Amino acid sequence: MRTILGRPDTPVIATAAALLAVGLGFGLVVPSVFAVALAASVVAGGVFFALRFPAPFCAAWLLVAGMSLEMAFADLVGPDAYQPTIAIIKGAEIGLALLCVLRFGPRLDPLCPAWAFPVMLVTGLVHGLYPGLSTADSLRSAVGSVTPFAFCFVRVPRSWADTIVRTTKWCPTVAVLACLPLAVAGIRP
Protein backbone atom coordinates (compact mmCIF):
# COMPACT_ATOMS: atom_id res chain seq x y z
CA MET A 1 0.00 0.00 0.00
CA ARG A 2 1.52 3.29 -1.12
CA THR A 3 0.48 6.71 0.12
CA ILE A 4 0.89 10.32 -0.96
CA LEU A 5 4.63 10.51 -0.39
CA GLY A 6 5.26 6.89 -1.30
CA ARG A 7 5.70 5.85 2.33
CA PRO A 8 3.30 3.49 4.12
CA ASP A 9 3.64 5.39 7.42
CA THR A 10 2.65 8.82 6.06
CA PRO A 11 -0.87 8.79 7.64
CA VAL A 12 0.59 7.90 11.04
CA ILE A 13 3.24 10.63 10.86
CA ALA A 14 0.66 13.15 9.61
CA THR A 15 -1.71 12.31 12.47
CA ALA A 16 1.07 12.58 15.06
CA ALA A 17 2.17 15.90 13.59
CA ALA A 18 -1.41 17.19 13.64
CA LEU A 19 -1.87 16.18 17.28
CA LEU A 20 1.42 17.82 18.22
CA ALA A 21 0.44 20.98 16.32
CA VAL A 22 -2.92 21.10 18.13
CA GLY A 23 -1.17 20.65 21.48
CA LEU A 24 1.36 23.38 20.71
CA GLY A 25 -1.40 25.63 19.36
CA PHE A 26 -3.32 25.26 22.61
CA GLY A 27 -0.10 25.99 24.48
CA LEU A 28 0.31 29.28 22.62
CA VAL A 29 -3.33 30.38 22.70
CA VAL A 30 -4.49 28.95 26.04
CA PRO A 31 -1.42 27.95 28.08
CA SER A 32 -3.51 26.40 30.87
CA VAL A 33 -4.85 23.80 28.42
CA PHE A 34 -1.41 22.80 27.10
CA ALA A 35 -0.86 20.03 29.65
CA VAL A 36 -4.28 18.53 28.94
CA ALA A 37 -3.74 18.72 25.15
CA LEU A 38 -0.30 17.16 25.47
CA ALA A 39 -1.63 14.39 27.73
CA ALA A 40 -4.46 13.74 25.26
CA SER A 41 -1.90 13.45 22.46
CA VAL A 42 0.13 10.95 24.47
CA VAL A 43 -2.98 8.92 25.30
CA ALA A 44 -4.03 8.96 21.63
CA GLY A 45 -0.57 7.70 20.68
CA GLY A 46 -0.77 4.95 23.28
CA VAL A 47 -4.21 3.89 22.04
CA PHE A 48 -2.89 3.82 18.49
CA PHE A 49 0.04 1.59 19.46
CA ALA A 50 -2.25 -0.67 21.52
CA LEU A 51 -4.55 -0.99 18.52
CA ARG A 52 -1.62 -1.65 16.20
CA PHE A 53 0.21 -4.08 18.55
CA PRO A 54 -2.47 -5.54 20.85
CA ALA A 55 -0.66 -8.72 21.93
CA PRO A 56 2.33 -6.99 23.60
CA PHE A 57 0.04 -4.47 25.32
CA CYS A 58 -2.25 -7.24 26.58
CA ALA A 59 0.78 -9.24 27.75
CA ALA A 60 2.13 -6.20 29.62
CA TRP A 61 -1.29 -5.65 31.20
CA LEU A 62 -1.41 -9.32 32.23
CA LEU A 63 1.99 -9.07 33.91
CA VAL A 64 0.83 -5.98 35.84
CA ALA A 65 -2.47 -7.62 36.82
CA GLY A 66 -0.58 -10.74 37.91
CA MET A 67 1.43 -8.70 40.41
CA SER A 68 -1.65 -8.11 42.63
CA LEU A 69 -0.71 -4.44 42.88
CA GLU A 70 -3.90 -3.66 44.79
CA MET A 71 -2.57 -5.61 47.77
CA ALA A 72 0.88 -4.05 47.60
CA PHE A 73 -0.50 -0.51 47.27
CA ALA A 74 -2.93 -1.15 50.13
CA ASP A 75 0.03 -2.15 52.31
CA LEU A 76 2.35 0.64 51.16
CA VAL A 77 -0.06 3.56 50.67
CA GLY A 78 -3.02 2.56 52.79
CA PRO A 79 -6.39 0.85 52.45
CA ASP A 80 -7.74 3.78 50.43
CA ALA A 81 -5.53 2.67 47.48
CA TYR A 82 -7.10 -0.80 47.26
CA GLN A 83 -10.30 -0.11 45.27
CA PRO A 84 -8.82 2.57 42.95
CA THR A 85 -5.97 0.24 41.99
CA ILE A 86 -8.42 -2.54 41.13
CA ALA A 87 -10.52 -0.06 39.13
CA ILE A 88 -7.49 1.09 37.11
CA ILE A 89 -6.34 -2.46 36.33
CA LYS A 90 -9.83 -3.63 35.37
CA GLY A 91 -10.46 -0.42 33.42
CA ALA A 92 -7.27 -1.06 31.43
CA GLU A 93 -8.48 -4.59 30.71
CA ILE A 94 -11.85 -3.32 29.49
CA GLY A 95 -10.08 -0.76 27.29
CA LEU A 96 -7.73 -3.38 25.84
CA ALA A 97 -10.63 -5.76 25.22
CA LEU A 98 -12.52 -3.01 23.36
CA LEU A 99 -9.43 -2.24 21.28
CA CYS A 100 -9.08 -5.95 20.50
CA VAL A 101 -12.74 -6.07 19.43
CA LEU A 102 -12.03 -3.17 17.07
CA ARG A 103 -8.88 -4.87 15.79
CA PHE A 104 -10.01 -8.52 15.55
CA GLY A 105 -13.82 -8.41 15.70
CA PRO A 106 -16.41 -9.48 18.26
CA ARG A 107 -17.36 -13.04 19.12
CA LEU A 108 -20.42 -14.33 20.92
CA ASP A 109 -19.53 -16.92 23.54
CA PRO A 110 -22.79 -18.35 24.86
CA LEU A 111 -20.98 -20.68 27.30
CA CYS A 112 -18.81 -18.00 28.91
CA PRO A 113 -19.07 -17.91 32.72
CA ALA A 114 -19.47 -14.12 32.51
CA TRP A 115 -23.18 -14.54 31.74
CA ALA A 116 -23.79 -15.70 35.33
CA PHE A 117 -22.95 -12.29 36.80
CA PRO A 118 -25.62 -10.23 35.00
CA VAL A 119 -28.12 -12.93 35.97
CA MET A 120 -27.04 -12.61 39.62
CA LEU A 121 -27.28 -8.81 39.39
CA VAL A 122 -30.80 -8.91 37.96
CA THR A 123 -31.86 -11.54 40.48
CA GLY A 124 -30.53 -9.40 43.32
CA LEU A 125 -32.28 -6.30 42.01
CA VAL A 126 -35.58 -8.17 41.57
CA HIS A 127 -35.55 -10.08 44.86
CA GLY A 128 -33.72 -7.53 46.98
CA LEU A 129 -30.08 -6.82 47.64
CA TYR A 130 -28.11 -7.87 50.68
CA PRO A 131 -28.76 -5.41 53.54
CA GLY A 132 -26.33 -2.51 53.34
CA LEU A 133 -25.41 -3.21 49.70
CA SER A 134 -26.39 -0.35 47.42
CA THR A 135 -27.45 -0.73 43.80
CA ALA A 136 -24.30 1.12 42.70
CA ASP A 137 -22.08 -1.27 44.71
CA SER A 138 -23.92 -4.24 43.25
CA LEU A 139 -23.50 -2.90 39.71
CA ARG A 140 -19.79 -2.16 40.31
CA SER A 141 -19.32 -5.68 41.65
CA ALA A 142 -21.06 -7.19 38.61
CA VAL A 143 -18.87 -5.20 36.19
CA GLY A 144 -15.76 -6.17 38.14
CA SER A 145 -16.77 -9.83 38.10
CA VAL A 146 -17.47 -9.86 34.35
CA THR A 147 -14.24 -8.04 33.47
CA PRO A 148 -11.88 -11.06 33.75
CA PHE A 149 -13.91 -12.69 30.96
CA ALA A 150 -13.81 -9.66 28.62
CA PHE A 151 -11.48 -11.30 26.11
CA CYS A 152 -13.88 -14.25 25.76
CA PHE A 153 -15.94 -11.95 23.54
CA VAL A 154 -13.10 -11.14 21.14
CA ARG A 155 -12.21 -13.12 18.01
CA VAL A 156 -8.49 -13.23 18.77
CA PRO A 157 -5.94 -14.79 16.43
CA ARG A 158 -3.88 -17.78 17.49
CA SER A 159 -0.71 -15.66 17.81
CA TRP A 160 -2.44 -13.41 20.39
CA ALA A 161 -3.62 -16.43 22.38
CA ASP A 162 -0.13 -17.98 22.28
CA THR A 163 1.38 -14.73 23.58
CA ILE A 164 -1.11 -14.59 26.47
CA VAL A 165 -0.50 -18.25 27.40
CA ARG A 166 3.28 -17.68 27.40
CA THR A 167 2.85 -14.53 29.51
CA THR A 168 0.62 -16.38 31.98
CA LYS A 169 3.36 -18.97 32.48
CA TRP A 170 5.85 -16.21 33.31
CA CYS A 171 3.59 -14.16 35.65
CA PRO A 172 4.66 -15.87 38.91
CA THR A 173 8.36 -15.63 38.10
CA VAL A 174 8.12 -11.98 37.09
CA ALA A 175 6.12 -11.18 40.24
CA VAL A 176 8.71 -12.80 42.49
CA LEU A 177 11.64 -11.13 40.70
CA ALA A 178 9.94 -7.73 40.81
CA CYS A 179 9.25 -8.08 44.54
CA LEU A 180 12.75 -9.16 45.53
CA PRO A 181 14.15 -5.60 45.64
CA LEU A 182 11.24 -4.53 47.88
CA ALA A 183 11.88 -7.46 50.21
CA VAL A 184 15.64 -6.85 50.32
CA ALA A 185 15.08 -3.15 51.07
CA GLY A 186 12.62 -4.08 53.84
CA ILE A 187 9.81 -2.12 52.19
CA ARG A 188 7.44 -5.05 51.73
CA PRO A 189 8.02 -8.74 52.61
pLDDT, residue 52, reads: 87
pLDDT, residue 3, reads: 45
**Beta carbons of 163 and 59 less than 8 angstroms apart:** yes
Single-letter code of the amino acid located at 164: I
Spatial distance between the Cα atoms of 101 and 61, rounded to a whole number of angstroms = 16
**Angle, nearest 10°, between helix axes 34-52 and 10-29?**
160
Segments in the chain below pLDDT 70: 1-9
pLDDT, residue 5, reads: 54
pLDDT, residue 56, reads: 95
pLDDT tens column, 138-183:
898 899 899 999 999 999 999 999 999 999 999 999 999 988 988 8
pLDDT, residue 6, reads: 59
Could you tell me the pTM of the whole model? Answer: 0.78
pLDDT, residue 7, reads: 66
pLDDT, residue 169, reads: 95
